[in-house]
Amino acid sequence: MTLLGRLAFAAGALRGLLRPGVAGGAYTEQDADPRERRVPADPRAEALVAALLVLAGLLAAAFGVLIAVDPQTQLLGLTFGLALAALAAALIVAGKRVVVQEIDVEPRKPPDPADDERLVAELRTVGEGISRRRALAGAAGVACAGLAGAVVLPITALGPSLDAAPDKTPWKRGRRLVTPEGRPLRAADLVLGSFASALPEGADKRELGSPVVVVRVDPGTIRLPAARRDWAPQGILAFSQICTHAGCAITLFRYPVDEATSNGPALVCPCHYSTFDVRRAARPIFGPAARALPQLPLAIDASGVLVAAGALSGSVGPSWWGVKS
């Protein structure tokens, strides 16, 4: 028996039970036969059901898109709720105006096998009143696909964000460094031992790859890899501000007054005190971070403003964002 058949059978049985005088056994063969079978064939109702099913599917699909684009928006609840409401409305209209309505009352007597066969034969024809079967089936498919996606997609919240793309940052050759207030950062703004936060000019400040820390140390003490020899003009170095342990912003710079009695210059993360040796390409020397901060190669333009000489040297942020080394 098809799903529609089962629904019709269940609805008929329920209506029979609720009908006064029938459930109590008052009907006899002498009464007028109350059986009725309506086959509505209402194309407008079918079109309405199809439209509501498609609407449910589209709203559920919008829910999936929102999860990927903006997982925090309150529109998530609105779209999913409206999708369920549209589905419920479609089922109500289908139940009342599309699916065959049948009343079948029988006198109480021993069941006749022939009656059973007749009932089965009638149930096999319950779809006769539906003239737009394919349209309704397609609309139901849209609704099912959308709602299935809406149910499955929230599972992605258990893993990394869909928009986490640690390898893509706004930094590229020639992009000027600006202060958080938007003022171009000049090499002369940084004295020996100073520290500044900087952003790429004109880029989205909220991107994780945007913020860098800029420090100035004695150029004679810098020990960068050979490939990075010219990345620190006048002893000025820049690194991603996002800690490679758990993604906190690095806001501390330790610079010794007397290195003979103190530790050397280092960036320190305030969350769990991971410490990065800036003179050796920000490799971690203390704390839980296991990976160096990505370095931004620097240059100084003709007006003395610091500019990026290329992209960041590696992926921004914690290793569990997909960075393997």
**Should residue 293 be labelled a site residue for ligand FES when binding is judged by CB under 6 A?**
no
**Should residue 275 be labelled a site residue for ligand FES when binding is judged by CB under 6 A?**
no
Residue from 271, 299, 300, 323 that binds ligand FES (CB under 6 A)? 271
Cβ proximity to ligand FES: between 245 and 291 the closer is 245
**Should residue 184 be labelled a site residue for ligand FES when binding is judged by CB under 6 A?**
no
**Should residue 268 be labelled a site residue for ligand FES when binding is judged by CB under 6 A?**
no
Establish how many alpha carbons lie within 13 A of residue 182's alpha carbon, considering only the half-sphere containing its beta carbon: 3
Number of residues that bind ligand FES (CB under 6 A): 11
β-partners of residue 268 are: 252, 275
**Should residue 316 be labelled a site residue for ligand FES when binding is judged by CB under 6 A?**
no
Rounded to whole angstroms, the Cα distance separating 252 from 154 reads 37
Rounded to whole angstroms, the Cα distance separating 61 from 167 reads 28
**Should residue 323 be labelled a site residue for ligand FES when binding is judged by CB under 6 A?**
no
Cβ proximity to ligand FES: between 14 and 252 the closer is 252
Who's near 26: CB < 8 A, 6+ residues apart?
none
- Grouping H, G, I as helix, E, B as strand and the rest as coil, residue 178 is strand
Residue from 150, 185, 269, 308 that binds ligand FES (CB under 6 A)? 269
Residue from 90, 142, 217, 289 that binds ligand FES (CB under 6 A)? 289
Tokens of residue 18, six digits: 């609720």
Cβ proximity to ligand FES: between 237 and 269 the closer is 269
Query: Which among 256, 307, 310 has a CA at the least distance from the CA of 279?
Result: 256
**Should residue 272 be labelled a site residue for ligand FES when binding is judged by CB under 6 A?**
yes
**Should residue 296 be labelled a site residue for ligand FES when binding is judged by CB under 6 A?**
no
**Should residue 119 be labelled a site residue for ligand FES when binding is judged by CB under 6 A?**
no
Q: Spell out the SS3 assignment of 219-232.
A: HHHCCCCHHHCCCC
Who's near 33: CB < 8 A, 6+ residues apart?
105
Residue numbers of the site for ligand FES (CB under 6 A)?
243, 245-246, 248, 269, 271-272, 274, 287-289
